[in-house]
């Protein structure tokens, strides 16, 4: 199965973002998933001190390129895993990815703490299942892939 992972990016450092996606990709690949993330092919951004929400100049990081490629990757996925744990600011990109996933009937697995800035009826309803810990969400994704817990 193919899985698309989304997680807040704006306001985070390159180290935080790349480390998160590398860690979660490795975990999900060990379950047998083909993993897609919004950071594929964006190694040139590893020097960013703090990611901004728009206006990068590299061909794969223009506003248009980011929007269309992320939307395309969501549509390619069987499962969308959105991890909003500990988010301090609203992630508009992740909200768009959740909307695309719900609209195209992808299986949406959401991980979000109870007191989260994203706790909203639309976010909760866009998800098929909601977990309050990353460990529980990953356990579910592992079992979904047919791996024993």
Percent of the chain with pLDDT over 70: 87
The three-point CA angle 105-102-137 to 5° equals 95
| pTM for the structure as a whole | 0.90
Percent of the chain past pLDDT 90, that is, above it, reads 70
Write the pLDDT tens digit of every residue in 36-51: 998 876 655 655 556 6
Q: What domains sit in the chain, N to C, each tagged with a CATH number?
A: 2-144 (3.40.50.450)
Question: Residue 79 corresponds to which tokens in the numbers above?
Answer: 């499962």
| DSSP string for 89-142 | S--HHHHHHHHHHHHTT-EEEEE--SS-TT--HHHHHH-SEEESSHHHHHHHHH
Q: Which residue has the tokens 């790349």?
A: 18
pLDDT in tens, 51-97: 656 666 667 778 888 899 999 999 999 999 999 998 989 999 999 99
């Amino acid at each position: 199965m193919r899985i698309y992972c989304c997680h807040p990016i704006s306001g985070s450092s390159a180290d935080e973002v790349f480390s998160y996606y590398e860690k979660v990709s490795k975990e999900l690949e060990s379950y047998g998933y083909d993993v897609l993330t919004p950071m594929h092919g964006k190694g040139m951004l590893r020097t960013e001190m703090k990611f901004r929400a728009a206006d990068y100049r590299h061909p794969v990081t223009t506003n248009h390129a980011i929007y269309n490629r992320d939307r395309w990757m969501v549509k390619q996925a069987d499962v969308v895993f959105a991890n909003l744990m500990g988010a301090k600011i609203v992630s508009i990109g992740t909200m768009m990815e959740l909307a695309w996933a719900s609209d195209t009937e992808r299986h949406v697995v959401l991980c979000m703490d109870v007191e989260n800035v994203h706790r909203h009826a639309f976010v909760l309803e866009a998800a098929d299942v909601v977990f309050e810990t990353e460990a529980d969400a990953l356990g579910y994704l592992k079992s979904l892939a047919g791996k024993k817990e």
